[in-house]
Amino acid sequence: MTATKVTDGQVVSMQYTLRVDGKVVDSSEGGDPLEYLHGAANIIPGLEREMEGMAVGESKTVVVSAADGYGEVNEEAFIEAPVSEFPEDMPLKPGVEMELTGPEGEPMYARIESVEGDVVTLNMNHPLAGAELHFDVKVVGMRDATEEEMDHGHAHGGHEH
């Protein structure tokens, strides 16, 4: 039996546009819809909760608080480093993004918050931390997840494993 409303175990196809402060920061428009497995924390919690019960063809505007989105800004995620630790050809100014290597060799994203004298302050927060998120969403399709997708905890859109 195929569900007619978004519920756990459904692979949901959705079109979405995300705005922060009225500015579009992400959108599926002009591309393929986003496919996700409902109930598996594939999307941010505040949005997943609002998707519950939606029908195919239904549209909705969802406002998600920072706490239910990418989290509040963590003051401990700002770190200072001397200018001399950065590559010479890197422009050191606020907003510049970079990928660093964490203690376990994992990639960590950071952007420059400020540069004062020879001290660079890096912000390791998610770029959307602290932001209220405005989503325009439309459910464009829905199907039962396969057993494999349930095992993996995500939807298989053809380019995943």
Judged by the rule CB under 5 A, the positions of this chain that interact with Zn ion are: 152
Distance CA 84, CA 113 (A): 17
Using the minimum distance from each CB to Zn ion, give the nearer residue, 74 or 146: 146
Using the minimum distance from each CB to Zn ion, give the nearer residue, 19 or 38: 38
Using the minimum distance from each CB to Zn ion, give the nearer residue, 19 or 154: 154
Least distance (Å) between residue 39 CB and Zn ion: 16
Least distance (Å) between residue 153 CB and Zn ion: 8
Nearest residue to Zn ion, scored by beta-carbon proximity: 152
Least distance (Å) between residue 31 CB and Zn ion: 21
Least distance (Å) between residue 154 CB and Zn ion: 6
CB atoms within 10 A of CB 148: 8
Handedness of CA 131, 54, 26, 9 (dihedral sign): positive
CB-based contacts of 3-6 (< 8 A; 24+ apart in sequence): 3/142, 3/144, 4/55, 4/56, 4/142, 5/53, 5/54, 5/55, 6/38, 6/51, 6/52, 6/53, 6/54, 6/55, 6/139, 6/142
Using the minimum distance from each CB to Zn ion, give the nearer residue, 75 or 151: 151
Using the minimum distance from each CB to Zn ion, give the nearer residue, 29 or 160: 160
Q: Which residues, listed in sequence order, are joined to residue 138 by a DSSP beta bridge? A: 15, 59
Least distance (Å) between residue 38 CB and Zn ion: 16
C-alpha R_g of the chain: 19
Distance CA 134, CA 17 (A): 8
